[in-house]
Amino acid sequence: MSVRRIWASLSTLALAAAASLGVAGAAVAADSAAVGGYVALGDSYSSGVGAGDYLPDSGDCRRSANAYPQLWAAANSPTSFAFVACSGATTASVASGQLGALDASTALVSVTAGGNDVGFADVMQDCVLGSEATCISSVNTAVGEMNNSLPGKLDSLYGSIRSGAPSAQVVVLGYPRFYQLSGSCIAGLTEAERTAINDASDVLNGVLAKRAADAGFTFSSVVDEFTGHELCSGDAWIHSVTVPIQNSYHPTVAGQSGGYLPAFRSAV
């Protein structure tokens, strides 16, 4: 049996549960706190899946005490803090289930959304378990959705956020590249597959940045923060296929405190 097939076989159970992206940080210096309330919206990259220490009342949303919204709020003491990001969230479910936390007093909003809309975790499952051709075809399908259907979904969500919090600064955060190319991994995906996945992340971030700018929001990339800490880097801030299975392809504690938190802090 080939190394790739052995690795894929061992990964099957974990990847089945990673079919949604919603398949203790370093000390931080306090920023200038927002005047008013802070609301943290979004999917598992904002709720902190993969960072552990989940808040008891968060259930399947898996909101972590180590997630960047929690870390920023602890350092800055906004007048109110609503942490409503949820594992598995799409643009539609953020709009329908999370925006009730917004009101006229909300001064700051953070949001990650879009990855689940294009089925990015399904792409990762196809890439780990399928052939190179299957992987690249799945990536290309996701890229098509990013370019065609996702912009309208983001426009709708961003318009609803602005309606719910008319005076707030809204920070849209992107997603990291998953892989360091020509890195230390000796098994798993091919270099062509890793390149395609990274390129798709760049497309997704480009769409998010454009729609955020058109909405008058701030886009903050996390790519620079995660550079040198991708999978195959030897110092990854992203889980590979792992147990607990829901952690796969999500930021670690260090990814939240060293990746997402500085990217958010720099935008506020």
pLDDT digits (tens, 9 = 90+) for 85-130: 999 999 999 999 999 999 999 999 999 999 999 998 899 999 999 9
Instruction: Tell me the torsion sign for CA atoms 256, 257, 262, 264.
Output: positive
pLDDT above 60: residue 7: no
Q: How many CB atoms lie within 10 A of CB 202?
A: 15
Tokens coding 83: 């942490």
With H, G, I as helix, E, B as strand and everything else as coil, classify residue 173.
strand
Percent of the chain with pLDDT over 90: 82
d(CA 192, CA 194): 5
Q: What is the pLDDT of residue 24?
A: 36
pLDDT at residue 58 greater than cutoff 50:
yes
Q: Specify the pLDDT at position 187.
A: 81
pLDDT on residue 237: 98
Residue 35: what pLDDT?
55
Q: Is 96 a catalytic residue?
A: no
Using one digit for the tens of pLDDT, what is the confidence trace for 165-193?
Answer: 999 999 999 999 999 999 989 888 999 99
Residue found by looking up tokens 């999500």 in the block:
250
Percent of the chain's residues with pLDDT above 70:
87
By C-alpha distance, which of 95, 112, 75 is closest to 153? 95
For 213-250, b/e burial (b = at least 16 CB within 10 A) is eebebbbbbbbebbeebbbbbeebbbbbbbeebbbbbb
For 166, the token pair is 């008319």
Catalytic residue (one of 20, 44, 46, 138): 44
Q: Among 248, 254, 257, 253, which Cα is nearest to 87's?
A: 248
User: Is there a contact between 214 and 157 (Cβ–Cβ < 8 Å)?
Assistant: no
Q: Residue 22's pLDDT is what?
A: 52
Would residue 149 show up in a list of annotated catalytic residues for this protein? Answer: no
pLDDT tens per residue across span 208-247: 999 999 999 999 999 999 999 999 999 999 999 888 878 9
Contact 173, 46 (CB under 8 A): yes
Q: pLDDT band for position 21 (50/70/90)? A: low
Q: Whole-number mean pLDDT of the chain?
A: 89
- For the entire predicted model, the pTM comes to 0.88
Q: What stretches of the chain adopt beta strand conformation (E)?
A: 37-40, 80-83, 106-111, 169-173, 218-220
How many other C-beta atoms are found inside a 10 Å radius of the C-beta of residue 104?
11
CA 111 to each of CA 38, 143, 172: distance values in angstroms, whole numbers, following the listed order: 11, 21, 5
Residue 25 has pLDDT above 60, yes or no: no
Chain-centre distance for alpha carbon 166: 25
Place of tokens 């959304």: 113
Q: Which residue has the higher pLDDT, 149 or 245?
A: 149
Name the residue with higher pLDDT: 184 or 8: 184
Q: Which of 4-13, 69-78, 112-121 has the lowest mean pLDDT?
A: 4-13
Place of tokens 């260090």: 254
* From 46, 58, 64, 250, the catalytic residue: 250
